[in-house]
């Protein structure tokens, strides 16, 4: 979003700041030429290896030894490959996640074809008390009400519950539904959040006096080159430069984020890369010594998967996927609702203003784009895992599917 507007997420809802600085700005990742082109779709091989630098940084901040961290990441990658294969075969689970050991857990009815196939593939099968489908329906009921006091609506698959994150008194409509479905809903206090707006993924892209961080390359069927981004970064349209006052590198095409329209929003957008410029699948490591590139394509890893993000404000920070399909209520500095955004992933990765649009990767795959995070959150630059931090993320696969684009430079 543009930096002239200051929007906060309340509770689990993020408050957005269009740009990191005082003008309308956005941050994007700078790209280099020659990115590989891969398609998104079922059956993609999600096996890949983290670099020794990535493993070492994760281990330093996770409390695990290098060998233990490496083994955990390998188990997570294998589990995500199994999940991808199961889904590609047409099986439909009522939730899936990775446990603390990196092993795959799926929710399915005992004795069903899904349960039998998952067991045969080595996954743990659990019955659901509520399940992802019913919880998503309940989330939709809440999202259609007055979201006053709501920061975010989180579909917690491992906990088999809907979490209402709030930083203020809930509206009468929300409270009524929370009371009615109290067995499936948990209300927790949470700080307000803010969107993070400051040509390789993670590089700073500027407009006016503010910036966002670059996302990932994509193409349409005609081969035209675009960049998938957080929609609030290019909500106002226009062109963007690499660095403050640098050369123009792209122009906005579309954004599904609309402030103050009273309609449901998505934090999805894309831009057209100038003919003389290029954006690759490489991601800026910001001196962390880690390979955070995403040459293998776009992926939607299971909850529990560890990943890292590159952004122009905080560099490379790491965490894990906590949940998908969060609905986040954005409000401005006056407490006025700016936008209600659905479809966001929540992670324990630390972000700050200016990181918006920045690239999340896991094992060589493009996973997400920074949307927002808690107001006042501070991050250690290139800090790896940082306890107690969080961010909201736009999944890359959803963004590509939304606009009918294919991943790659």
Active site residues: 232, 267, 356
Q: What 3-state class would DSSP assign to 52? A: helix
Measured between alpha carbons, how far is 364 from 119 in angstroms, rounded to an integer? Answer: 28
Tokens of 155: 């579909």
Token pair recorded at residue 352: 């700050």
* Residue among 262, 225, 269, 249 nearest 394 (CA): 269
Contact in structure between 280 and 35 (CB atoms under 8 Å): yes
- Residue among 13, 366, 404 nearest 224 (CA): 404
**Token couple for 306:** 């560890």
CA distances from 74 to 49, 77, 122, 341 (A): 8, 5, 15, 33
Nearest-CA neighbor of 215 among 347, 363, 25, 31? 31
Bridge partners of 161, per DSSP, are 156
User: Distance from CA of residue 261 to its chain's centroid?
Assistant: 23
User: Residue 11: is it exposed, middle or buried by C-beta count within 10 angstroms (0-12/13-18/19+)?
Assistant: buried
The stretches of 144-284 forming alpha helices (DSSP H) are 172-180
Decide the pairing of beta strands 25-28 and 161-166: unpaired
Closest C-alpha among 164, 199, 198 to residue 181:
164
Q: What angle do CA 373, 379, 382 make, to 5 degrees?
A: 120
Q: What is the DSSP letter of 408?
A: B
């Amino acid at each position: 979003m543009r930096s002239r507007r200051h929007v906060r997420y309340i509770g689990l809802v993020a408050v957005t700041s269009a740009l990191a600085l005082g003008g309308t700005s956005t941050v994007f990742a700078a790209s280099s030429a020659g990115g590989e082109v891969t398609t998104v779709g079922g059956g993609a091989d999600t096996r890949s290896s983290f670099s020794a630098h990535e493993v070492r940084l994760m281990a330093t901040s996770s409390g695990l030894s290098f060998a233990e961290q490496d083994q955990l990441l390998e188990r997570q990658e294998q589990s995500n490959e199994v999940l991808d294969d199961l889904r590609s075969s047409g099986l439909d689970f009522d939730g899936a996640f990775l446990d603390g050991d990196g092993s795959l857990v799926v929710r399915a009815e005992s004795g069903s074809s899904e349960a039998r196939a998952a067991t045969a593939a080595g996954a743990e099968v659990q019955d659901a008390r509520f399940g992802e489908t019913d919880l998503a329906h309940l989330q939709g009921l809440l999202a259609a009400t007055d979201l006053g006091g709501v920061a975010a609506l989180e579909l917690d698959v491992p906990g088999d519950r809907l979490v209402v994150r709030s930083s203020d008194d809930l509206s009468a409509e929300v409270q009524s539904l929370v009371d009615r479905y109290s067995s499936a809903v948990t209300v927790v206090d949470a700080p307000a959040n803010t969107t993070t707006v400051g040509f390789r993924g993670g590089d700073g892209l500027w407009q006016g006096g503010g910036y966002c961080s670059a996302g990932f390359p994509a193409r349409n069927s005609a081969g035209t080159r675009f960049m998938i981004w957080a929609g609030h970064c290019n909500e106002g349209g226009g062109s963007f430069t690499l660095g403050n006052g640098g050369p123009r590198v792209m122009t906005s095409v579309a954004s599904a984020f609309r402030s103050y329209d009273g309609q449901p929003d998505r934090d999805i957008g894309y831009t057209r890369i100038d003919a003389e410029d290029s954006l690759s699948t490489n991601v800026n490591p910001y001196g962390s010594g880690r390979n955070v590139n995403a040459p293998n394509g776009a992926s939607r890893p299971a909850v529990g998967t560890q990943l890292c993000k590159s952004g122009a404000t905080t560099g490379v920070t790491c965490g894990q996927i906590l949940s998908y399909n969060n609905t986040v209520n954005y409000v401005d500095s006056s407490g006025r609702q700016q936008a209600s955004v659905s479809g966001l992933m929540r992670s324990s990765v630390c972000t700050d203003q200016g990181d918006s649009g920045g690239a999340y990767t896991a094992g060589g795959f493009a996973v997400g784009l920074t949307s927002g995070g808690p107001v006042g959150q501070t991050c250690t630059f290139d800090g790896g895992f940082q306890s107690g931090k969080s961010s909201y993320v736009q999944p890359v696969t959803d963004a590509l599917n939304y606009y009918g684009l294919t991943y790659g430079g």
